[in-house]
Amino acid sequence: MAKVLTDGTVGTARAAAVVSVRLFAGAAEVAGVRVQRVTIQDGATVDEVFDRMAEQFPALAAMKASLKFAVNQEFVEMDQRLSDGDEMAVIPPVSGG
């Protein structure tokens, strides 16, 4: 039976997927973790996963606008969809001299 999914599309229920979220530098510091495994619906976006992380670690929410994201070592936009086994990286801005 088809149903309306949370992303507004019509289809069958999506399967659960597990992704690893790696936090770097300041993001890891405010969260207090460097790696977090997150169970999502297959096809959830980077934005959705980050929002879930920010619910668990509220200090991350304030950083969102300045962060970059990567999936499987490739920079991506927030609307990138994730699949089981993906690795998502949360990368704050860095400076150097």
pTM of structure:
0.82
Tens of pLDDT, residues 26-56: 999 999 999 999 999 999 999 999 999 999 9
Q: Residue 57 maps to which CATH number? A: 3.10.20.30
Residues spanned by the domain of 84: 13-91
Has residue 38 been placed in a domain? Answer: yes
SS (H, E, C) 28-57: HHHHCCCEEEEEEECCCEHHHHHHHHHHHC
Whether residue 96 has pLDDT greater than 70:
no
Give me the pLDDT at residue 64, please: 96
Count up the domains in the chain and report the number: 1
